[in-house]
Amino acid sequence: MLTLPRKPDACELCARKTVPLTKHHLIPRTLHRNKRIRKRFTKEQCLTQIAWLCMPCHKSIHRLLSEKEMAADYFTITALAHHPDIADFVSWIKNKPAGFKPKFSRRTN
């Protein structure tokens, strides 16, 4: 039986509390059947490597990174936190109130 990480009290990137959290698959689900992904990660890793994120952090990751980039280089919370653009976003949003919803511009790439 697969065990998902326990839902924390705060976003795993910005550490804001009292915000609704969403599951972010660190290995994108659309790539689980990809041969390279299947060689690199076990089925259990694909299904259980998740991060609990607030919606603004979750949206910023998907805005900044492609699914291939996530699977290749950013499949851990630590790696995501060290991405320069994500780190800038997290440092900006971490002091915003729980109900704050940033307006994201359209992704151009």
The pLDDT-based confidence of 62 (bands split at 50, 70, 90) is very high
pTM of the model: 0.86
43 within a domain of the structure (yes/no): yes
Domain extent, residue 61, equals 21-93
Residue 38 has pLDDT above 80, yes or no: yes
- DSSP codes joined into one string, 53-103: EEHHHHHHHHHH--HHHHHHH--SHHHHHHSHHHHHHHHHHTTS-TT--PP
CA nearest neighbour of 13 among 48, 62, 69: 62
CA nearest neighbour of 24 among 5, 39, 42: 5
3 within a domain of the structure (yes/no): no
The number of folded domains in the chain is 1
78 within a domain of the structure (yes/no): yes
